[in-house]
Amino acid sequence: MIEIRKALEDAFDEPAKVLTILGILKLLAYQRVLNPGGKLYTHHSQSELWGNWAIDENRMYRSLKDLALAKENMQIRAHNGIKNTIGRDATLVFYDVTNCYFEIDFDDEYMIEKETGEIDEGLRKRGVCKSNSKKPIVQLGLFMDTNGIPIS
């Protein structure tokens, strides 16, 4: 299938780290389906799920940086898994775009990454939306193949 474990094992030499990240991914995925909410909500409500999760809030947030390192390999493995099991048919690609707005007073500011010094532009900007609101918006796009499977 999509071999997430193998992608993480390629990225990290420590088996314990791989298992921790897999546990966090499972918790986030289960909660996204069963009771959607943010990461903080997921952390606080993990005791409501069957199983012994006991995932520390700080570890959950720290794992996001680790996941970013393994992201490309995970996407490649997912693509190859889909291609080999279902068959990826991208002869016709569907695209949709939408936007959402936030109830805030100002656009996001630029942030400077402490380690690299890179400037990250804020996501939420004022713009036009369907409801004619002048609130800052985020635009979302989605590509799908002819099987309805998202393309990254």
3 state DSSP class of 125: strand
Q: What is the pLDDT of residues 22-77, one digit of tens each?
A: 888 888 888 888 888 788 888 888 878 887 788 888 888 888 899 898 888 888 88
Please say whether the dihedral angle defined by the alpha carbons of residues 7, 22, 42 and 114, taken in this order, is positive or negative: negative
DSSP-assigned beta bridge partners for residue 125: 137
pTM of the full structure: 0.62
pLDDT tens, 84-143? 888 888 888 999 988 777 666 777 777 777 777 777 777 666 666 566 766 667 778 899
Count CB atoms within 10 A of the CB of residue 71: 13
Residues 6+ apart with CB under 8 A from 94: 143, 144, 145, 146, 148
Phi, psi of 37 (to 5 degrees): -175, 180
